[in-house]
Structure 1
């Protein structure tokens, strides 16, 4: 796999324009096998990389085989090895639902332990490398200081900029020690928005001083600590650009002026997907590719549509041929992509490593990290742990993904399974919270597992009515810790910042007297002491 990269490299001026442009693109496809469209992009359009989503994933063996098949397509076409990337952040953004599915970054943030974060990154990196994956779009370096944020939330380590930077850098270091490119996101920061850039263009109005003290802090730390790559965000920062309609991804002032020249970042700069509505519904995906490269991006991400992928590649080639985009900008991006392929794909993690061992190790690490991240925010009346000789009543609500970035896997019955067969647990599945009439008379041990209760008045009503029934009540958020704001008077509240299998098991253990529950809230909950 390394011959095309190491022994047959040509000087950049000797590489045809079409090849250089194709190497700057990362594309996605549908299904668990290479499609004709993706094979054609690799062999005829010189595609540089692939991104995996949940739609591409069946099992570890299938992923390992898929990676090898894609690399074979590139090799047989005489192309360099592919960067194969994914978003394996942990928690609600986990493309793989087995070993590498760590708890969410906010759960990891609750441990406040950089050594655990480096261990987490190394563990996930080793598993990804064993599956032929050489780039992870993680860590999230956004500071989640807006509880109303619909797209970041528990994907962030917390609301303290310094701690987000410290923990994010530790996770990145672990990934890179395993030979996987770590790509921090989303520069200059997506933490203080109430709009999802998958659906429209958010605007952050803060002045430069505020950005320097909050949003920029984790990215500066990651750069100083040697992170390989950063991803841009499709958000307007008019205090920098003077334009409320210009996404940072398309701004040379943001990407080249601040990130390259001021911060000194010399790694890979990757665009977020150009099919997100903040780009596709404004300048368009193809023109967005031209503008993002001109602004400073080295890698352009077009995740879904073969037509848009081909159109974007061909549009960039035409832009260079017409003089709209300089070939020198293409050359510098191409050289940087080639450098990281040499560094990580050719000499990084071993894709022939035993994925079985890596997967099992990941599961063990996920359980330990989840146990350390569970946070008992309060237990004023000493309800916990529950009496093991008495039954537990579990009240659960349905939950759906809040953003297009997420993997929508939550089922309230998953929490029931996490308690195991040795405990007597009665499950109350609430289909319609507005209509639910609880059966409790008083004295029962009850767990109410909430999911976005802050935006669901029915869930908050159920919690209050069960509390009024004089039950032994513990409210557990299986998503955002901010749910406590919906019922601040509740005496026992626990959060796991997500619903990964390891986290649900850890929550059940804490409720029943097992180990764990030592996490510390990494965010402030509005209106709650």
Structure 2
């Protein structure tokens, strides 16, 4: 990887390397090409809107890399995406792993490490060299609308061990890992995409719980950490200051106290916690002032340009020093040399050869982690020779971080594949369903009933009138709290293909559910 020295690069190119931008469509837009050519943009982020097939993604990555290395300093791009597994999986062609919480239900560090390596090989085959994962948040708030099953669980030590292992797996195949969301988004009841959450715990509690997984990841050599747009007044003294733009968080805590010298990447500055506060442009300047290295503006070309220009102006007017820009640039170049440089000399995996391994591991994880939380009546497994009613609920994504992928009939299809004769009842919000015969076998497929009283009421009515009924939670294990104490309850912590198939096999008796809940269900 031959590039200019930091000292010889023009300021515009230096600043461009500190930005990560997204764009619409499955081919490079005129706008993203302009950012690369005019500012030497250093980093790209893919969302589902950029992805249609493995061949298309690989070609898109190659074209963007060719554009980037032909201009400016000749530095290759970090091409990033959020391939966490489960409900946040940008690559959606049946190879995605189940959620991190399902891996948490397995509680197997070797499996988490293998998951990272398997995801990493698939990403590398597509030209993606930075995975914005693992999630290192400790999810101890059942009402959390944005993390939930994206977390390994509520135990800081287990989240730390599993997160560090997954990051090691990614980096073992030359894909940079980025742990998120520092200092911790797990104990919030507000989504930072929509507003500014506040975590009001005292410093000692934060050090014991929230910080622990990040410390473990740092000690194990994680390449990057993503900051969060959450206020931590015990650290900053300000309940209205997002951590992303706080030097008390980024420099004093993360750099000095925890000793992290890797890449600090911001969460997207177009999220409302920033966009409706200081705004993306000022937010970019303040994030770099605070200690961040890569500033993410994921969506809007005008905001991307404005943010880059704001940082350039800040340097030219003396608010930011060029030496400060150089420190971030040196970290970026070092990490690119380590990960992209290593991948350039290694054999590039072929997606067609990676896909079967990904599917096999997804099945292995799902079969291990599917959790039969309660079955006092010994309802599970069901009798495949008898008719089965499947009651499913419509559902939308829990947060803008997710994609609209939930299919309420997916469980019915999977149960049909394992031998059941099915009648499907799909219930929209506000609707009810009645199944007349009392001796019918029923699976009620809940989708975040904890946050949907209409769905919860329907579940309770079905449970009250039918003895041979199991609740299958495919979105949120906390749905158990809305069910009566005697209800049979099974959870998959998400609706990825592997998880749904594992649930169907469990209900048919061909998979023994061995997973254990990695979270506490409130009474």
Instruction: Indicate the residue corresponding to 1:43 in structure 2.
Output: 37
Of the structure 1 ranges 211-220 and 353-362, higher mean CA displacement relative to structure 2 is found in 353-362
Equivalent residue runs for 1:107-122 within 5 Å: 107-122=102-117
Match for 1:412 among 408, 411, 431? Answer: 408
Paired residue for 2:63, among 60, 69, 73? 69
| 1:480 partnered with 2:476 | yes
Deviations 1:236-291 (A, max 9, x none): 11111111111100011111001000000111110111111111111110111110
Q: Any idea what the Cα deviations from partners look like across 1:29-80, whole Å, max 9, x if unmatched?
A: 0000000000111111110010000000001111111100111111232531
For 1:334 and 1:151, how far apart are their aligned partners in 2? 31
Structure 1 partner of 2:221: 226
**1:89 corresponding residue in structure 2:** 84
Once residues 484 and 139 of structure 2 are traced to their aligned partners in structure 1, the CA distance between those partners, rounded to angstroms, is: 21
Task: Tell whether the 8 Å contact from 2:270 to 2:280 is kept in structure 1 after alignment.
Answer: yes
Per mean C-alpha deviation after superposition, the further-off stretch among 29-38 and 515-524 is: 515-524
Q: Match of 1:98?
A: 93
Please tell me whether the aligned partners of residues 273 and 303 of structure 1 are also in contact (alpha carbons under 8 angstroms): yes
In 2, are the aligned partners of 1:430 and 1:436 still within 8 Å (CA)?
Answer: no
Any idea what SS the aligned residue of 2:489 has? strand
Name which of structure 1's ranges 263-272 and 434-443 shifts more when overlaid on structure 2. 434-443
SS of the counterpart of 2:184? coil
Q: 1:388 Cα deviation (Å)?
A: 1.7
- How do residues 278-357 of structure 1 correspond to structure 2 at under 5 angstroms? 278-348=273-343, 352-357=348-353
Q: Work out which of the residue numbers 339, 359, 366 in structure 2 matches 1:370.
A: 366
2:142 to 136, 140, 147: 147
| Residue 460 in structure 1 maps to residue 459 in structure 2 | no
2:474–2:491: 8 Å Cα contact kept in structure 1? Answer: yes
Conserved? CA contact 2:408–2:426, under 8 Å: no
Secondary structure, aligned partner of 2:342:
coil
Q: Does 1:525 align with 2:517?
A: no
**Unaligned residue ranges in structure 1 (runs of 5+):** none
Residue 360 of structure 1 and its aligned partner are, at CA, apart by 1.9
Quote the Cα distance in structure 1 between the aligned partners of 2:486 and 2:408: 21
Give the TM-score normalised by the residue count of structure 1.
Answer: 0.96
1:31–1:433 distance in 2 versus 1, CA, 3 Å: closer
- The answer on 1:21 being equivalent to 2:21 is no
In structure 1, the residue matched to 2:263 is: 268
Contact 2:416-2:422 within 8 A present in 1 as well: no
* Equivalent pair of 1:440/1:469 in contact (CA under 8 Å): no
> Alignment partner for residue 162 of structure 1, among 133, 157, 163?
157
Q: CA–CA distance in 2 between the matches of 1:505 and 1:198?
A: 31
Distance (Å, rounded) in 2 between the aligned partners of 1:470 and 1:319: 67
SS, match of residue 377 in structure 1: strand
Q: Distance in 2 between matches of 1:83 and 1:395?
A: 44
Post-superposition shift, 1:351? Answer: 7.9
Aligned partners of 1:99 and 1:360 also within 8 Å: no
How many Å apart are 1:420 and its aligned residue?
Answer: 3.8
Provide the C-alpha distance between the structure 1 equivalents of 2:462 and 2:94, rounded to a whole number of angstroms.
36
Uncovered stretches (5+) of structure 2, i.e. residues with no partner = none
Partner SS state of residue 348, structure 1:
helix
Deviation at 1:455, TM superposition (A): 2.0
Counterpart in 2 of 1:511? 507
Q: Deviations over 1:150-200 (max 9, x none)?
A: 100000000001110000001001000011000000000000111111111
Give the match's secondary structure for 1:430. Answer: strand
* Equivalent in 438, 448, 468 of residue 442 of structure 1: 438
CA distance in 1, matches of 2:467, 2:481: 21
Q: CA RMSD in A?
A: 1.3
TM score, norm. by length of structure 2: 0.97
Deviation at 1:100, TM superposition (A): 4.3
Aligned-partner SS, 1:419 = helix
Task: Mark the CA change 1:211 to 1:301 in structure 2 (over 3 Å): closer, same or farther.
Answer: same
1:30 aligns with 24
Residues in 2 aligned to 1:429 and 1:414: alpha-carbon distance in whole angstroms: 12
Closer/same/farther in 2, CA of residues 43 and 164 from structure 1, 3 Å limit: same
Runs of 4 or more, structure 1, over 4 Å off, are: none
Q: Secondary structure at the match of 1:13?
A: coil
Q: Number of matched residues?
A: 521
Give the corresponding residue for 1:501.
497
Write out aligned runs for 1:120-199 (5 A): 120-199=115-194
User: Is the alpha carbon distance of 1:422 and 1:224 closer, same or farther for their aligned partners in structure 2, counting shifts above 3 Å?
Assistant: closer
